[in-house]
Structure 1
Amino acid sequence: MKTLKDISLSMLDLVAVREGRSVADSLSVALSTAQRAEALGFTRYWVAEHHNMPGIASSATAVLVGHLAGGTRKIRVGSGGIMLPNHAPLVVAEAFGTLAELYPGRIDLGLGRAPGTDGITMRALRRDRVETEDDFPREVAEVQKLLGPVQPGQRVVAMPGADTKVPIWILGSSLFSARLAAERGLPYAFASHFAPRQVLQAIELYRSQFKPSAQLAEPYVVIGIPLIAAPTDDEAEYLASSNYQRVLGILTGNRRRLQPPIENFMAGLRPEERAAIGDFLAAAVIGGPERVHDGLSRLAEITGADEFMLVCDIFDPELRLRSLDIAAAAMKA
């Protein structure tokens, strides 16, 4: 059974735009957070691709990965993920191949098959393309080929990109993604930070069907964990109300910038709203140091994950950094 000391710690940043603050401020917060994560010994720092969302500033994901890598020294930086329906594989390979040349040994390429936006915006990104379930596996293979050694007779070459061998990850929240990651012998990151329902089933399928590859000899699992840590359980619950508001906005179609915390926010909601937020955040760890340690230990026990990827949406950037400090200490306790 894995203990916390056996598990790597990383972070996924949605680059939240806070109410009353600018996009430039959110990008600055992302960099300072990546620097703190690096100082704490985190393994990697990923940013997620989303479009046409007022509270998220990570739409130009590859650009932001370069900015964060340039402002840090050794932590791995990458995408969690690039949404392949929005991009031609050649463009993805060239962008991340360029990043790999600029920051050797530090770039990750996580790939997802959701558009990360609404249908209208997806059409604006890739015009009139019609996506099918077969497209994603085929495009993953194309990106792999473009980032690998140039083959005899290969007519389309990613330059930069060819032979950079940027590590590719499969991201997902379903059994489809687990099966694909296992079949290709790629590391697998499950989006339990917003879709925890199938996490155990997906991990079991991935491990049982895993086929070793040139990139990876044994299965490797990352799980997303919403984390709100504070010196006391009560303060953590108060700070988590910003996240509760964000989730409620997602569920009701009322997306906004990240809101300040509200005292007793959940108590003012209808029972069905509280239940829906609870389902969305079923993998969340919220509390003081002891509760954080216990919550992370429980996730380690039931999932056997190799790596935890924290998602930490706290309105006050300094308290967000403090939350990471508490989590890092809990992993060593």
Structure 2
Amino acid sequence: MRKIISGLGIISGIVCAAGASAESVTLTGDFPAAYREASFLTRMAIDRFDGGDGPALSIALERALSGNGGAAHFAVMSMARRSGMGPVDADGVLSGVVSTEVNENRDVQKREECAEKVDNKCTKKQQVEIICRKRTIDVIADLRIVRARDRSVAYSSRKSRHDEVTWCPNASAPGAVEGTIRGMIDSVAAETAREIAPYTERYVLRFYENRTGMPKDISNEFKAAIRLTQQNLPEACRAFAAIDTALPGQVSVTYDLGICAEARGDYAEAMALYQRAAAIRPRDRADFDAGIDRTQRLIVARNDERERQRRR
């Protein structure tokens, strides 16, 4: 109750990023849900959510899990509209409780104002108190998914949202409370959907261009290969491989070969190349570690999809 107190495989394609620099490539990959066991469910029933804003969260979850007009991971049904059918029709039931608290209080602030003027210039200032208003809104949602077959818990999470605004005399009052709460509810629903369903994401990778330590002829070949990535990525990757054979152990070439492997969907090879690049130059681990983590998650998503197909 509301309380108010006053590629290939998983990679689907390789395209040049609009407006991207010549050393970038945009990939599309499928990533696993944070709560993988919940993602193996296929038919999700949205049960009632207790609390004054519970019905709003139920509807927001229906919308978010139905894909918002895009491809949906779950077949979503609302138990409130199921004409008495029991949860046996679903393999997962999502339920919970929402508590909302709104507080509005006086907020005394000090401001500096001009006390005396001479020739239209302020010669003396003073501190004055003004009475403002402060409004805080807190939404806490407890959610869980129970498997229909054995009543075990596949997902459990608490999500909180906080909004605070202060306005003083001669300033516009904030927007309506209900609108702010609806935005917070939609945010909770979107975060929940992201946690329990795999998702597809486009991301940009930048090729390493550093040619330090390369002989002039190979340096020129590498520079040409970098330029070629925007016109013919497979051919550029073959050029990187030839350079790696002629001059192994170059961190830029190794990392860029990792991008090539990732682009064609060979995530295990990409991860190995990113690990090799990190071993060559451990002081520059940010991109390497990001690549290792990303390819690990791409591998998990691919394996999860195979497991889902096996269970069907």
TM range (shorter): under 0.3
Comparing both structures, which one devotes a greater share of its residues to helix? 1
